[in-house]
Amino acid sequence: MRRYVNLEEISDGKKYDEEDMVKADCLDCSGCSKCCQGMGNSITLDPYDIWRLTKGTGLSMEALLTEQVELSVADGVILPNLKMTGEREQCAFLNEKGRCSIHAFRPGICRLFPLGRYYEGNTFRYFLQTGECIHPKTKIKVRKWIDTPDYKRNKEFILQWHSLVNQVEELIRDNEDDEFRKNINLLFLKTFYLTPYQTEIKTSEKSGETDMEGCEDDAFYIQFYERQKRFRAILQLPK
Ligand code: SF4
Ligand code: SF4
């Protein structure tokens, strides 16, 4: 979710690159888990998060939507987010010991916290949210803290996704026809979230052969870029 705030007010004023050291590591916090409670609809999920979640839990997107995930509107666009439930308004994946039960395939925003992304030009850097968590932390390399496979390719995906969401927001904002807005949102959800991603892609779909792609995430990225191409063509969105 985007926020329009003064960076100086919510951070230490610095912008970090992936190789920089930052005071973000809270792994000895004894399961404080405050960042897994009362987060409202702020933990939005991108298609790669859904890919990881469906693969890791074995649940379909439809099944996740019954308990752990909900849909919310952000700047006119319907996006899924982690649902906060119960008296303590906590994430459904938080276990009774105050630990994340899906740590290995937790969403990107959970991997970032207490860092945030600061988009500028055609890229982004990171900032440290100093008011969100006051627990003492140790220094860690940004890239290690985020702990995402194939960082470079994932960053490129995030940038393309960010740009696409911005374009869809703009399209919705500039059009007053409610039916049109509804249809764009439905197409967007169906294309990128509700249609299951295959976990393996046969190279026959690209080259006429039958071998599988080597890395599991290849399957996601291939399908994402194909879907993005189709979606952009239907709505005539520029790249
Ligand atoms: S980031 Fe902060 S709020 Fe979240 S678990 Fe660590 S110490 Fe707790
Ligand atoms: S997915 Fe895990 S880290 Fe993220 S909010 Fe839920 S319990 Fe916390």
pLDDT digit string (tens) for 157-214? 999 999 999 999 999 999 999 999 999 999 999 999 999 999 887 655 554 444 444 5
Residue minimizing CA distance to atom 1 of ligand 2: 106
Same domain, yes or no: 186 and 124: no
Q: What is the pLDDT of residue 145?
A: 95
Same domain, yes or no: 136 and 157: no
Distance between Cα 94 and ligand 2 center (Å): 6
Distance between Cα 128 and ligand 2 center (Å): 19
Tell me the per-residue pLDDT of 44-73, one tens digit each, with 9 for 90 and over. 999 999 999 999 999 999 999 999 999 999
Complete DSSP assignment for the chain = ------HHHHB-S--B-TTSEEEEE-TTS-S--GGGBS-TT--B--HHHHHHHHHHH---HHHHHHHTEEEEEETTEEEEEEPEETTTTEETTB-TTSSBTTGGG--HHHHHTTEEEEEETTEEEEEEBTTT--S--EEEEHHHHH--SSHHHHHHHHHHHHHHHHHHHHHHHT---HHHHHHHHHHHHIIIIISPPPS--BTHHHHS--PBPSSHHHHHHHHHHHHHHHHHHHHT---
Same domain, yes or no: 130 and 175: no
Residue minimizing CA distance to atom 5 of ligand 2: 36
Supply the mean pLDDT for the chain: 90
Residue 2 lies in a domain: no
Same domain, yes or no: 140 and 194: no
Q: How many domains does the chain have?
A: 2
Same domain, yes or no: 104 and 215: no
Distance between Cα 145 and ligand 1 center (Å): 13
Same domain, yes or no: 13 and 114: yes
Residue that terminates a domain, selected from 91, 119, 146: 146
Residue 1 lies in a domain: no
Residue that terminates a domain, selected from 146, 166, 183: 146
